[in-house]
Amino acid sequence: MPAEPKQREDNKHTVSPEERRQAFKALFSYAKPHRKSFLGVFICAFLAISADLLQPFLIKYAIDEKVLFGAYGPKILIGLAAGYLLLEALSGVFSYVQANLLQRVGQSIVALLRKDLFKHITGQSMSFFDRNSMGGLVTNESSDTETINQFFTQVLFSLVRDGLSLILVIVFMFALDVRLALYCLILFPIITGIAVAFRKHLRSCYQQARSLLSRLIAFTAENLSGMSLIQSFHQEQEQEDRFTNRNTSYLKANLREVRASVLFNRSFDVLGNLAVAFVVWLGGFAVLDQQIEFGVLYAFISYIRQFFQPINQITQQWNTLQSTTVSMDRLWRIFSTQPEVKEPAPEETKTLAPAAVRGRVDFNQVRFSYVDGQEVLHGLNLHIQVGEFIGIVGTTGAGKSSLVNLLARFYDVDRGSVEIDGTDIRRLPQQDLHRIVGLVQQEPYLFSGTIVDNVRLFQEHITREEVIKACRQVGAHPMIKRLGRGYDTKLSNRGSGLSAGERQLISFARILVFRPKILILDEATANLDSQTEQLIQHALSVVAAGRTTLVIAHRLSTVQHADRIIVIDSGRIVEAGSHEELLQQDGYYAELTRHSRLQHNAPNVRVQG
């Protein structure tokens, strides 16, 4: 299978208008299954607004027909009062139903979006995680999806509800008096002009505040993860000063935003009162001239007040629309990234039943680079027999991890191939490959959960007994028994309560439980005391039995008994053979051994790395 050329997307890639259109189209596809609920929301909104707007009409009727002055006796008056209360109640009920329905739809959409995003991110290749920071992805998963919720529950809804409300107010005003309504419409472009101008200023305040907040969060996150460094170099005061600078800038930006917002809202109120005065002045003359009735004027004054509210609401959504666009761009960039490591095409796929795999591994003329033009492995050949124990040594940056990363298919080779039992691993479904190749990382990752959960990785079909048996075999049982609640002890924060050696033992037990035919071990660099060292050596011999094993060794003692030791230097295998053979050759490996002995003056010789 020929290697495909690398297509790595640029981190700073900007979203084109066409891509944005597609992004919004994709977003609306999430809303599609909720069409009926949206229709329900809009019907409820329409009914609530209508009930609201009918109230001034009732009062107008009561004034103009002299009901308020006892013209028809108390019965009609009571009837009108009851009608008014009924309209108020209906408006309340429909608003309540509409708000609930809308929140339910918005939350359901966002829950699904979050799920899809999580699935998409976990399906990405390692190169994706090289390019995207953890903090950024967490923001995408949490706040960007939340902004999308606001788009549905605020922006879209406001456009419809307030737009509808505005239209109905205008209709009611025309129904009352065409001339007065026309005068009022003159206000429309003035109000909109002011609102748009103000919003522009508000938007820039808002954007500035958001970007300062992002800076503050990034600074905090960076400091938390580098806390040990800060404390060991006594950098607390410097970091506090830098934090204070950022914090003060954010505070100022926030206050600026609040000032602009208050000014805008108060200006709108003043404008509203001026409009009322204008209507009272014009309408008052019309009442005096007996061109309109007093009730009409009363209703007009009520409507003119309601005229301002929706315009204000709609313009307020502008900020949310802005942040939705930014979030949408960010999410779209992730959703449109396809994993570089792809599943094989159906006609290329070869299934290897994990149980039937023997465990032969071949690296054939492998060339590989993380970044175009900077090759890390240069035409590397390595043929590993079934059940062979291979030690891989070499200085820092030699390419040891890169080699095993290719076998786990975290990345694909640029040229050449990696084969298991003679099958190119690019032809294997990834799920099968990951059952065949097991990995114990340099810093074993532990999830929040019990020891049992961590050994069986939350797979309920693996029994507790199997877990305990595996832990006994690797020698982790006594250590686990000493923990507060034994196998049910809850680990948190990546198992920070356990030592590096203990975490490694747990990850060895995982291997026994999942039984991969090929094992990759990136040995921990941490200094281990001799007792833990013995425990780990024993556990390694247990998990390596009957498996093809590749161990990246940072302590040469770990691989002294390996069937074969591979020495890698600058992306090439420079020596290969058993410990004794390599010492006899008196080449690079012998040099490494001498160097490590001199450096550490200890029986457990180490190589840099």
Residue ranges that bind ligand ATP, judged by CB under 6 A? 130, 370-371, 376, 394, 396-402, 609
Amino acid at 316: Q
Q: How far is the CB of 10 from ligand ATP (least distance, A)?
A: 15
Overall residue count recorded for the chain in this entry:
609
CB pairs under 8 A, 24+ apart, for 395-402? 395/569, 395/592, 395/607, 395/608, 395/609, 396/608, 396/609, 398/568, 398/569, 398/570, 398/571, 399/568, 399/570, 399/571, 400/552, 400/568, 400/609, 401/522, 401/552, 402/368, 402/370, 402/376, 402/377, 402/571
Residue 498 C-beta: closest distance to ligand ATP, Å? 22
Residue owning tokens 């309340």: 92
The pair of structure tokens assigned to 494 is 């990546």
Are 454 and 480 within 8 A, CB to CB? no
d(CA 329, CA 332): 5
Toward ligand ATP, which CB reaches closer, 260 or 528?
528
64-100 burial code (b ≥16 CB/10 A, e <16):
beebeeeeeeeebbeebeebeeebeebbeebbebbbe
CA distance 609 to 442: 11
Q: Is the Cβ of residue 8 or residue 538 nearer to ligand ATP in the bound state?
A: 8
Q: What is the DSSP letter of 415?
A: E
CB of 525 to ligand ATP, least distance (A): 8
Shortest distance (Å) from residue 568 CB to ligand ATP: 7
Between 40 and 397, CB nearer to ligand ATP? 397
**DSSP secondary structure, 163-227, as one string:** HHHHHHHHHHHHHH-HHHHHHHHHHHHHHHHHHHHHHHHHHHHHHHHHHHHHHHHHHHHHHHHTH
Closest contact distance (angstroms) between CB of 330 and ligand ATP is 22
Whose Cβ is closer to ligand ATP: residue 299's or residue 376's?
376
Q: How far is the first Cα of the chain from the last one, in angstroms, to the nearest whole number?
A: 34
The nearer residue to ligand ATP, 402 or 507, going by C-beta atoms, is 402
At position 63, the amino acid (one-letter code) is: I
Is the Cβ of residue 67 or residue 439 nearer to ligand ATP in the bound state?
439
Pick the closer one to ligand ATP by CB: 442 or 578.
442
Q: At its nearest, how many Å lie between ligand ATP and the CB of residue 401? A: 3
Work out how close the CB of 554 gets to ligand ATP at its nearest, in angstroms, rounded to a whole number: 7
62 vs 398, which CB is nearer to ligand ATP?
Answer: 398
- 460: β partners: none
Give the integer Cα–Cα distance in Å for 285 and 182. 16
- Compute the distance between CA of residue 471 and CA of residue 447 in angstroms, rounded to an integer: 17
Q: What value does the CA radius of gyration of the chain take, rounded to a whole number of Å?
A: 35
Q: Rounded to the nearest whole angstrom, what is the least distance from the CB of residue 36 to ligand ATP in the complex?
A: 48
Could you give the CA distance from residue 420 to residue 424 in angstroms, rounded to a whole number? 7
Which residues are CB-contacts of 245 (< 8 A; sequence separation ≥ 6)? none
> Which residue number, 299 or 607, has a Cβ lying nearer to ligand ATP?
607
Q: How far is the CB of 382 from ligand ATP (least distance, A)?
A: 14
Amino acid making up residue 596: S
- Written as one string, the DSSP assignment of 556-583 is HHHHTT-SEEEEEETTEEEEEE-HHHHH
Nearer to ligand ATP, 130 or 586 (CB): 130
* Least separation in angstroms between CB 502 and ligand ATP: 22
Least distance CB 364 / ligand ATP (angstroms)? 19
Q: Which is nearer to ligand ATP, 125 or 507 (CB)?
A: 125
| Residue 566: CB minimum distance to ligand ATP, A | 12
Find out whether 51 and 91 touch, Cβ atoms under 8 Å.
yes
Is the CB of 122 or the CB of 396 nearer to ligand ATP? 396
Least Å from the CB of residue 521 to ligand ATP: 13
Nearer to ligand ATP, 339 or 397 (CB): 397
Cβ neighbours of residue 184 closer than 8 Å, sequence gap 6 or more: 173, 275, 279, 300, 304, 307
338/123 Cα distance (integer angstroms): 9
